Amino acid sequence: MQLKQLGLASYQPTVEAMQAFTQARTPSTPDQLWLCEHPPTFTQGLAGKHEHLLAAGDIPVVQTNRGGQMTYHGPGQIVAYPLIDLKRANYFVKEYVYKLEEAVIRTLAYFGVTGHRVRGAPGIYLRLNDPQSHASIGLPEGGSDAQINQFFREHGLGKVAALGIKISRHFTYHGVALNVAMDVEPFSRINPCGYAGLKTVDMASVDATITLADVMPVFAKQLQTWLAG
C-alpha cells in the first residue's frame, strides 16, 4: 500500500482527487493510503439531515457522498483515506469497517488510551471520566438513535474517531478521522454523527503531551497492517 502524506489539504479538492483516482484505477492499480489534515470544514454525508447543523458560523459546510451524518474536520485531526480494492484484498465491507476501527483502537492503545466500539454507531469512543479503563461498556438495549444516545450519556462516552466511507465498484474512498490535538469547540455547533449532545474528545485531552507528529506514523502503520489483504 502506497502512503501519501498530503499535509494540510483543502477538503473538496482532496475528495475530487480521490474520486478521480477511483474512477481511473484498474485491477492492477496499487492501493494507496492518503493521510492529511483539513482546514476547518463541516461535512454532511448522504444520510445527513440539515437539522443536525446547529450553528456553522464562519466554517464552511460541504455536501459529500460518503456515508454517515454531519461531522467536523480541522487542524490537529488526522484524516485517513484508504483507497483499496476490496475484491483484491479479499474482505467485505463489514470487515473493512472493523479493520479501520481496530487500527484506531491499536493506535490509542499505543498511547495508553482505551478505545471502545458501540454497536450501531460506527466510530471509536472513550470513557470521558476514565479513558484508560479496559472495563467493558456493554451493548445498547436497542438500535434506535435515541437509545444509542442514551447509552452514550449513561456510560459517559465521548467520540474520538469518526468513520465515513464510500464504496464504488468494490473500491474504497473517504475513510476515518482521528482527533489527536485539536480545537473540539466546532463539534458543539453540530449534532456529531447525528447524535444530539454527543461529546467529542481528542487524544490530547487525555494526555497533553500527545502530538499529531507522534501519532501520525503510529496510525499509518496500524492502518497499513490491518488493511493489508
Q: Which residues are catalytic?
A: 193
CA distance 151 to 153: 5
Residue 196, all three cell numbers: 444530539
User: What is the spatial distance between Cα 174 and Cα 21, in angstroms, rounded to a whole number?
Assistant: 12
Residues 6 or more apart in contact with residue 88 via CB below 8 angstroms: 27, 31, 229
| Rounded Cα gap, residues 96 and 89, in angstroms | 10
Q: Element (H or E) spanning 208, and its range?
A: none
